[in-house]
Amino acid sequence: NIAASEGGAIFTSIDVLLADNQSACFFCDNAVTLTDQNRCKGGALRLERFNCLNNRGSVVFANNLAGEGGGISAIHHCSFSGNLGNIIFKNNKALRRSGGAMHSPTITLENNPGIISFHNNSSAVQGGACLCTNFTLRNNNHVYFTNNSSPQGGALFTNSNSQVRISADKGHVIFNNNCLLDTNREYRNSITL
């Protein structure tokens, strides 16, 4: 799917609930093509709030492109909770601004028995995987942030007034091979606060 301005697959001014699905849900190969940086948001989803709850199948965001929020751009929050299937963000790109996989003021991933993976996402400015102000990661199975890149915050970028809560309660939380991209070289970096 391709959209001219916002939300390559879904653009809405209301909340979206993705819940209780027995099979996998895929948001793949979506794009927003507009060159206006202020309106080129949400390669797959552009919405108020996104709640992904209690899905038995995997939820996959892959190969999505936008100026900002390569996978998801939410005005208020993105929340993933109680998902038995895996949550995968792979190869999403914010080509002009921030949040390769997700761009939202608040991002919460908690109580998910499935594996969570942010792999090979990138952004042009901040947050190769995620850009947010408040980030909560707790009570999940294994979580992987791997091969994400950006000029600031290889995997995660938050501002100086942020709240970041990361807890490996039921599985590992692994940040590996995330990089800051400079014009002359790459630096290992996962989180910029």
63, HSE (Cβ side, Cα atoms, 13 Å): 6
d(CA 183, CA 118): 24
pLDDT per residue as tens, the chain (193 positions): 778 778 778 888 889 999 999 999 999 999 998 666 667 898 999 999 999 999 999 999 999 999 999 999 999 999 999 999 999 999 999 998 999 999 999 999 999 999 999 999 999 999 999 999 999 999 999 999 999 999 999 999 998 788 999 999 999 999 999 999 877 777 788 888 7
Structural domain boundaries enclosing 24: 2-192
Alpha-carbon distance of 163 to 171, in angstroms, equals 22
pLDDT attached to residue 35: 64
Give yes or no for a contact between 29 and 62, defined as CB atoms under 8 angstroms apart: yes
Domain total in the chain: 1
